[in-house]
Amino acid sequence: MRRIALLWKVVRGDLRVLGYALRHPDRPGWLIPAVALVALYAIDPFNFAVPFVGIVDDGVLVPLALHLMIRCLPTQLQHLRRR
């Protein structure tokens, strides 16, 4: 249960940074399409066909993709969560 709570804490922080980065005027051009693709992947129709596989898949790949996007942001945007 601690791992799930830790994962949620990291994902919540990453989502907060992405929210600020999406509104920032110096955001990279790839950010909006990347966030849209991850969102589409998270609500993929395959999740409805095979629910358990979809939940496990989203629980691992979506947080990893979000964290990778944060790591690829410029340094000034990565540190927005600390303000």
Contact between 80 and 13 (Cβ < 8 Å): no
The pLDDT of residue 5 is above 70: yes
Average confidence (pLDDT) over 75-80: 78
The pLDDT of residue 34 is above 90: yes
Average confidence (pLDDT) over 24-41: 90
Predicted pLDDT of residue 74: 87
Per domain, the residue ranges of the chain are 2-82
pTM value? 0.74
User: Angle, nearest 10°, between helix axes 51-72 and 31-42?
Assistant: 170
Average confidence (pLDDT) over 48-77: 79
